[in-house]
Amino acid sequence: MTGTTSTTRRFEGAVAVVTGAGSGLGRASAVRLASEGAHVVAVDVNTAAVEALVAELPTASIAVTADVSDETAVVGYMRAGIEAFGRIDVFHLNAGIFGSFAPIPDLEVDDFERVMAVNVRGQFLGLRAALRHYRDRSESAGEPVPGSIVFTASIASLRGSADLLPYQTSKHAVTGLVHGAAVYGGPLGIRVNGVAPGIVPTELFAAAATTKGGGNDMTARASTTPLRRAGTPENIAGVVAFLLSDDAAYTTGEIVSADGGASIVN
Ligand code: NAD
């Protein structure tokens, strides 16, 4: 049982925004949601990557080039999705960057601000856009329109390390977005959760391996987790799909670990 495939169709005809869909976890999430019937609004700064993804998806889906940290671009990807499909039902707010590995005294302000812009400001802008969209739809419908939002958090949302301060600070902030939005959205029927991956080899780690001290030992670290391996993007996509679906109808405000058990080891 690898949990990488699905025969269920929980998102038949639904419309899903996935940010950072051009690579890694976002790509796997888009593939999973489309395989369950969703039309995907695939958002990324990398135009070629999202266009290639959409060409492979089995549902009518669109690629949108947008930097999630840019307020105008976020309005743009929402508008593109609504123009294409009339509405958006679920959101996987996933785009993120690692930033620099460095001891805290060696960090530059730019290192910190670059990561916070994408991982916090970008996630806030996506959240606000989603909640505004649900509010608009509810006003039109004359009753609350339910919704579901999943953020990609991280094991770094829950724990610290000595050389990854901007990233772990940004991912702790994602926990705050999940908690606040879940309390706001609950009475409106809007669930908000996060998935917290551990180590999943993706482009993110390839980039990290080239920065100071970073990334190189990730595979070795993954082999010490209780499940003794790194995760796959599909492993994470399965959790995202569950949290976005009605199978998780009574789950909100949770950061669900998908880390091979890494976060429970003392
Ligand atoms: P990845 O680099 O493979 O994919 C990230 C995608 O996001 C890329 O396609 C990139 O172009 C896009 N992107 C980056 N900045 C963007 C921006 N400003 N606007 C729009 N798109 C942007 O990385 P990944 O491993 O798939 O990471 C996805 C998410 O998962 C991130 O939030 C990351 O922090 C989180 N995460 C990853 C791991 C892991 O082990 N890979 C672990 C924990 C959390």
Ligand 1 contact, 23 CB (< 6 A): yes
Distance 43 CA to ligand 1 centre (A): 12
**Catalytic entry in 77, 134, 167, 184:** 167
Statement: residue 119 has pLDDT above 60: yes
pLDDT at 46: 98
Domain that holds residue 49: 15-260
Statement: residue 7 has pLDDT above 80: no
For 66, the token pair is 């947008």
Sorting pLDDT into bands at 50, 70 and 90, what band is 3? low
Ligand 1 binding pocket mutation candidate from 31, 43, 44 (most atoms within 8 A of CB): 44
For 24, the token pair is 């890694």
Ligand 1 contact, 197 CB (< 6 A): yes
Statement: residue 9 has pLDDT above 80: yes
Is residue 236 within 8 A of residue 61, CB to CB? The reply is no
Ligand 1 contact, 122 CB (< 6 A): yes
Quote the CA–CA distance of 139 and 79 in Å, as a whole number.
18
Average pLDDT of 240-252? 98
List 149's β-bridge partners, or say none. 91, 192
Query: Exposed, middle or buried, 106 (CB in 10 Å: 0-12/13-18/19+)?
Result: exposed
In a domain, 102, yes or no: yes
Please give the span between the terminal C-alpha atoms of the chain, in angstroms, as a whole number. 27
Ligand 1 contact, 22 CB (< 6 A): yes
**Of residues 242 and 159, which shows the higher confidence score?**
242
Distance 173 CA to ligand 1 centre (A): 16
Is residue 77 within 8 A of residue 95, CB to CB? The reply is no
pLDDT at 5: 60
pLDDT at 221: 82
CA 256 to chain centre: 12
Quote the CA–CA distance of 40 and 73 in Å, as a whole number.
17
Average pLDDT of 212-237? 83
Sorting pLDDT into bands at 50, 70 and 90, what band is 155? very high
For 71, the token pair is 């307020």
Average pLDDT of 147-153? 98
Quote the CA–CA distance of 89 and 78 in Å, as a whole number.
11
SS3 labels along 55-103:
HHCCCCCEEEECCCCCHHHHHHHHHHHHHHHCCCCEEEECCCCCCCCCC
In a domain, 176, yes or no: yes
In a domain, 1, yes or no: no
Counting from 1 in the atom list of ligand 1, the atom nearest the Cα of 20 is 7
Q: Check which CATH number belongs to the domain holding 160 and give it.
A: 3.40.50.720
pLDDT at 216: 56
Between strands 90-93 and 62-65, the pairing is: unpaired
Helix ranges (DSSP H) in the chain: 24-35, 47-56, 71-85, 109-116, 122-141, 165-185, 203-209, 218-222, 233-244
Known catalytic residue: 167? yes
Quote the CA–CA distance of 38 and 30 in Å, as a whole number.
9
pLDDT at 161: 86
Average pLDDT of 169-198? 98
Within a 10 A sphere around the Cβ of 263, how many other Cβ atoms?
A: 16
Q: pLDDT digit string (tens) for 91-107?
A: 999 999 999 888 999 99
Residue nearest to atom 12 of ligand 1 (CA): 20
Statement: residue 222 has pLDDT above 60: yes
In a 3-state reduction of DSSP, which class is residue 107?
Answer: coil
Q: Count structural domains, the chain.
A: 1
Least-confidence region, from 4-13, 36-45, 114-123:
4-13
In a domain, 67, yes or no: yes
Sorting pLDDT into bands at 50, 70 and 90, what band is 197? very high
pLDDT at 213: 54
pLDDT at 203: 87
Average pLDDT of 223-246? 97
Distance 198 CA to ligand 1 centre (A): 13
Per-chain mean pLDDT for the chain: 94
Distance 140 CA to ligand 1 centre (A): 34
pLDDT at 131: 98
In a domain, 4, yes or no: no
Ligand 1 contact, 204 CB (< 6 A): yes
Quote the CA–CA distance of 58 and 115 in Å, as a whole number.
33
